[in-house]
Amino acid sequence: MAEALPERQMSEEELQRLRSVYVDLVGFVPPRIEARTELLSRLDPEGLRMQEEMRRHFMYPRCFDTKTAQLMLFGMLLMNLQDAAKLHAIAARRAGATWEELSAVVGLAFLFRGLSAANYGFQILQEMAQSEAGSVEATQRR
């Protein structure tokens, strides 16, 4: 028999504060992160707080700026052909990465992972460029 999820054990304000870092970084809360934060806010809010604190600590090391960290994460995830590579490419771009820098990361992944990493990486960059161009066109029409 299906059982309803318990009520949230975390305030809406705290949940939104935890999610806001994703909006700041990539412009939205990715669906998997939204699901994780929603369920853990109901089932294990302390675990969610701990996960987010560890994420913050390791995602923003003092020795790297955000752009550099996001470029590295893009490359690491691209090596495994993980779909989260796209989120970190977006984050790197939002943090100031150029197309040349993003392309260089794809080139490095190609060198050690092969053509599949290059194909996927350049697909990501092409989709990002098309999205950015669409955003610029929409803004210009206003």
Do 123 and 87 belong to one domain? yes
Domain count, the chain: 2
Question: What is the structure's pLDDT at 130?
Answer: 96
pTM, entire model: 0.89
Task: Measure the CA–CA gap between 42 and 60, rounded to whole angstroms.
Answer: 27
Question: Residue 71, class by beta-carbon neighbours within 10 Å (0-12 exposed, 13-18 middle, 19+ buried)?
Answer: buried
Do 48 and 73 belong to one domain? no
Task: Measure the CA–CA gap between 84 and 99, rounded to whole angstroms.
Answer: 18
- Is 117 part of a structural domain of the chain? yes
Q: Which domain holds residue 72?
A: 66-141
Per-residue pLDDT of the chain (142 residues; tens, 9 = 90+): 788 999 999 999 999 999 999 999 999 999 999 999 999 999 999 999 999 999 999 999 999 999 999 999 999 999 999 999 999 999 999 999 999 999 999 999 999 999 999 999 999 999 999 999 987 666 666 6
**Joined tokens for residue 80:** 């495994």
From the CB of residue 106, how many other CB atoms can be counted at a distance below 10 Å?
Answer: 24
Question: What is the structure's pLDDT at 138?
Answer: 64
Question: What is the structure's pLDDT at 140?
Answer: 66
Instruction: Return phi, psi of residue 61, to 5°.
Output: -65, 145
Question: What is the structure's pLDDT at 139?
Answer: 64
